[in-house]
Amino acid sequence: MILLAGGTGTLGRQVVRLLTARGLSVRVLTRDPARAEPLQDAPVEVVSGDVRDPEAVARAMRGVRTVVSAVHGFTGTGPDNPRTVDDQGNLNLIRAAGRAAADHFVLISVQGAAADHPLELFRMKYQAEQDLRASGLPWTIIRPTAFMETWAKLVGEPLLRTGRTVIFGRGLNPINFVSAHDVARLVDLAVVDPALRGAVIEIGGPENLSFRQVVETFQQVTGRPGQVRQVPLPLLRMMAALMPRVNPTLGRQIRAAVVMDTADMSFFPHAGPAALPGPLTSLSEVVRRDYGGT
């Protein structure tokens, strides 16, 4: 039995599809079973529970041999945040897996995770990595760059739906985006390939693109020009300083926008023992696949 925490998200749904296609038994842990409705056609067991609740995690762990954690609390509200989900939630999963003597734990972290990163999400993912390394469990850590599908929805989809979109900051900083479908292929491989245990694997997409280039890709592929508005970087910096006191969730998002407009977010894929078969997916392919195109 494989326990997948975060199985109803952008990445998790793809992981479920690949693992069940292998005939593997998958149990999805979610605090909102309604979000698992898209999985109803898959041979998957859905259990209700919150990774922040050690007792719920322990119940979900019964009979489990492999754990995949794809949880994240970046967009959470109130007590649902990177510290409670990505740090404490993952620690609950790791401890429960240890008590259950699980055979393998696959942690989905983030490329660039570090103790001193300016974003809390990256710091909490790094802490989860350290907890897993110290647990004594056989482990694999996967560090993807930003998901194409997430940012396509945030930046490109409004252009198609309303004819307008917003770029936060200058929109000139090169950022690596990876398709969640490619990350799911790597997670699937990590689950079944013992050679990937004890490995920290970074995965990115084939291109480093600025947000302006993301918008241009949508415009070129779909043939929909639209209007683009920008929020100036100085205004973003001011909002990043003030917003956390009013709305912590929005504050995290604005701080992330500042970092993505100013920090080195590029990544250059390289071949290695975990290299995936076939080419990595480009943004233009994601736009054609998910939104149609000319």
Q: Which DSSP letter does residue 173 get?
A: S
Rounded to an integer, the average pLDDT of 159-178 is 95
Residue-level pLDDT at 72 = 87
β-strands 175-178, 208-209: how paired? antiparallel
pLDDT exceeding 90 applies to what percent of the chain? Answer: 77
Q: Is the pLDDT of residue 272 over 60?
A: no
pLDDT digits over 59-68, tens only?
999 999 999 9
Residue-level pLDDT at 37 = 77
Residue 198 gets the label, from left (phi > 0), alpha (psi -120 to 50) or beta, of left
Residue-level pLDDT at 40 = 73
φ/ψ (deg, to 5) at 70: -115, 25
Rounded to an integer, the average pLDDT of 158-168 is 93
Orientation angle between helical segments 120-133 and 90-99, nearest 10 degrees: 10
Higher per-residue confidence, 182 vs 246? 182
Mean pLDDT across the chain: 91
Residue-level pLDDT at 221 = 95
Q: Is the pTM of this model over 0.85?
A: yes
pLDDT digits over 37-75, tens only?
777 777 889 998 999 999 999 999 999 999 999 998 877
φ/ψ (deg, to 5) at 146: -65, 140
Q: Decide: 73 and 84 in contact? Cβ < 8 Å.
A: yes
Q: How confident is the model at residue 77 (pLDDT cuts 50, 70, 90)?
A: low
Please list, residue by residue across 201-239, b when 16 or more beta carbons sit within 10 angstroms of its beta carbon and e when fewer do: bbbbbbbbbbbbbbbebbbebbebebebeebebeebbeb
Residue 55 gets the label, from left (phi > 0), alpha (psi -120 to 50) or beta, of alpha
The sign of the dihedral angle between the CA atoms of 180, 181, 186, 190 is positive
